[in-house]
Structure 1
Amino acid sequence: MATPAAEALPIAPGENRVAFQGMDWVAYQQMKALLNERTRARLTYDRGTLEITMPSELHEFYARLIERFIVILVVELGLKIKTLGSTTLDREDLERGAEPDNGYYIQHQPQVAGRPINLDTDPPPDLVVEVDINHTDIDKNALYATMGVPEFWRFNGKVWHIYQLENGAYAERDRSPTFPIISKDELYQFLATCQQNEVEAELNLRSWLRELS
């Protein structure tokens, strides 16, 4: 499988973001209820700071394709998955909440299968993905580390960062702890091919994975 550099990907127009300071938990919940009914906005809350994001077309393109990339890996590697999408991950005890681009239970899928999750008693998702092209006022690494998310992927439209939780903080890794068989180049290749032909990109990735098994 060819492995182009990240520079092969097009420059992405960024998301529209607005941040509010000094907003308590009750006000955050009220804003979330209002916006979730009327808009496609994504909300992230961190101890008084509320950030509202309106994703761009290319933001959604990357987010949905990274999700497809993950599902292909899970299927071809014989794993299990529970997909959360942008389900709100609220932790009032931490004064933090987020609606990530993608969230998944993989290692803990059997523990949460077939029912709604409850973060008061269930573990956090095993893997969370965020596409952040424009600057964000929220320290998302600290946010998801505090929530205890074991693996966090960030993609800025050019570069893929993989973080693994260690001693309460994230350490960057060259390969995913969940999918050590793949490198960053495989994702870059997949996204680059998807620019022209998503079906071809999926078939190529599945074929490559089957050749490895």
Structure 2
Amino acid sequence: MLLKLQQIIVKPGQQMLLKDISWQQLENILEEMGERRAARISYSHGWLEIMVPLPEHEKDKELIGDLVKILLEILQIDFEPFGSTTLKNERMRQAVEPDTSFYIQNQAAVIGKNRIDLTIDPPPDLAIEIDITSRTRFKNYEILGVPELWRHTQQGLEIFLLKEGKYIKSESSPNFPDIPIVELVNKYVQQCLTIGRSQAMRNFRDWVKNNL
């Protein structure tokens, strides 16, 4: 008897690994899971991992995504936010879902698109992963060619830049040159925990307007 996907329960903070999954099976699973779901997937050469984030993971994702949007909007930089859209390339047999992602330099290429196919579309300029319980899948992002990856852990923000196919840790972001991104994100995420999200975001807006 074949199991159906809805019979499988993955609890928040846990993951499930499936092997020998064909590309068509992956497409079927994504279709069955639907767009509005808590689970995230990563896929590489037949191995499929399904992860369900913890609630605090989702909170951090929203906070950092909002900080990026505020920066881009105040600096009047055009962008297209793509959230945790599935980034996939059938030729490379790779798929991954960041916690959130942004097209900045390449925003014009994806205007009006709801789904991304990396066999024809460029990868997002910035992908963000919140790493509370799961290990960021660097390899997926490297193979798919995402130029900048942020990882936020309980220790704070880390920036990784793609150089010759491998991620190198960096103190600065090419998408936000001359801005102390690591320091800013860590400061205002911490503020959200102490004075609340609304006040922290107002403080961040004021800082950007007064300093940039």
TM-score of the alignment, normalized to the shorter chain, above 0.5: yes
| Residues 62 and 38 of structure 1: CA distance in aligned 2, closer, same or farther (over 3 Å) | closer
Residue 127 of structure 2: aligned partner: 128
- Using CA pairs below 8 Å that are at least 6 residues apart, which structure has the higher relative contact order? 1
Q: Distance in 1 between matches of 2:13 and 2:185?
A: 21
Instruction: Give 1:88 shift.
Output: 1.0
Give the gaps of 5 or more residues in structure 2.
Answer: 1-11
Alpha-carbon deviation of 1:46? 1.2
Alignment match of 1:174 (pick from 159, 167, 171):
171
Q: Deviations over 1:47-104 (max 9, x none)?
A: 1211111111100000011100110110121211101111111111111111211011
Residue 206 of structure 1 and its aligned partner are, at CA, apart by 1.2
Q: CA deviation at 1:191?
A: 0.6
Q: Which residue of 2 aligns with 1:99?
A: 97
Aligned residue pair count: 198
Structure 1 runs (4+) deviating above 4 angstroms are none
Structure-1 separation of matches of 2:175 and 2:54: 28
Mapped partners of 2:20, 2:109: distance in 1? 37
**Partners in 2 of 1:15 and 1:168 — Cα distance?**
30
| Native 8 Å contact 1:153 1:161 kept in 2 | yes
Distance between the aligned counterparts of 1:106 and 1:190, measured in 2? 22
Query: Is residue 67–residue 185 contact of structure 2 (8 Å, CA) maintained in 1?
Result: yes
CA distance in 2, matches of 1:65, 1:114: 25
C-alpha distance 39-124 of structure 1, shift in aligned 2 (>3 A): closer
8 Å contact from structure 1 (residues 131, 157) kept in 2:
no
Query: Structure 2: how far apart are the matches of 1:37 and 1:135?
Result: 21
Which residue of structure 2 aligns with residue 3 of structure 1?
none
Offset, 1:212: 1.5
Task: Report 1:59-98 matches (<5 A).
Answer: 59-98=57-96
2:110 to 109, 112, 118: 112
The equivalent residue for 1:147 is: 144
Q: Cα RMSD (Å) of the superposition? A: 1.8
Unaligned runs of 5+ in 1: 1-13
Aligned identity (percent) is 33
Are residues 110 and 134 of structure 1, via their aligned partners in 2, closer, same or farther at CA, if it must alter by over 3 Å? same
